[in-house]
Amino acid sequence: MTGVEPAAGRTEQGPPPTGALAAVWAALSPEERAVYERAGYHRTFGLGARPALLVVDVEYNFTGDVPEEPVLDSVAKYPDSCGPAAWRAIPAIARLLAAARAAGVPVAHTHGTPRADRPGAPRRGTDIVYELTPRAGEFVAAKAAASPFHGTGLAAHLRALGVDTVIHTGCTTSGCVRAGVVDAAAHGLRGAVVEEAVFDRAELPHRLSLFDMDAKYADVISLAAAETYLAHH
C-alpha cells in the first residue's frame, strides 16, 4: 500500500509494497522486480483536494444474505456471491461512509440491473445491502456493464461537483472495481483503492488486481489512511 499525500503525477517513490501487494511482490523474480522498479511502477500517484467516495455493487448478488454462511452455501442461493470475504469488507465500507458523510464528501453507489436469471429471493440480488443503505441525496445508479462509469452519468456528476479524486470501494476487486479504477484514471481523476474495503470471490485475483492497480492507475491505501484523508477534506 502507498501513502495519500498529494503529488504532482507519479513522481514520488512509494514505500515497498505492503499488505496484499507484498505477497505478489515477493512472488516476482528479481528480474521482474527490477522491471517494475526501472519502469517507475508502484510510485505514489497522490490524491487531490476534492474527493468522492464510490461504493461499487455491494449488493446481495455479491454478498449473499447471511454474513456467517459458508461461501458455497451462499453461492447455492446467489451464484455470484463472494460470501465471507464480502462481509469482512462491509464494516470497513461502513466506516468510510460515516467518515465521508461527516466531512461532507460526496458519495456515489452503484448496483446491478435486475436479470431474470438472478435471484429475487430471499433478498433481491441487486439490492444494496442494508448495512450500506444510501442516504437521500447520494448518487445511486444501476449499471449494465462492469465499469461504474459506463452509461451511468457518474463522470458528469463528479465533474459537476468539482471532484478530482475517487476513493474506490466495493466489488469485485478484479472486476467492477478494477474497471472503475481504470475508467476514473481515463477521466483524469486521481484514485485510491482501500484495501480492506474491496473484496473478491477468491484471494488470488484480489491480490493480483490490487497489485496491478497500484502499479498503474491508483494508490492502494489502508482503511486508516483513507479515514484520515476523508476527515481532512
Query: Where in the sequence numbering do the catalytic residues fall?
Result: 176
Q: In 3-state terms, what secondary structure has residue 196?
A: strand
What is the distance between the alpha carbons of residues 76 and 98, in angstroms, rounded to a whole number? 33
d(CA 189, CA 34): 28
Considering only CA atoms, which of 47, 1, 59 is closest in space to residue 166? 47
CA dist 136 and 45 (Å) reads 32
In a 3-state reduction of DSSP, which class is residue 122?
A: coil
- Cα separation, 29 vs 201, in Å, equals 27
φ, ψ at 194 (rounded to 5°): -90, 115
Single-letter amino acid, residue 144: A
**Identity of the residue numbered 105:** V
Amino acid at 137: G
Specify whether the CB–CB gap between 79 and 194 falls below 8 A.
no
At what angle are helices 203-216 and 178-186 packed, to 10 degrees? 10
Q: Is 62 left (phi over 0), alpha (psi -120 to 50) or beta?
A: alpha
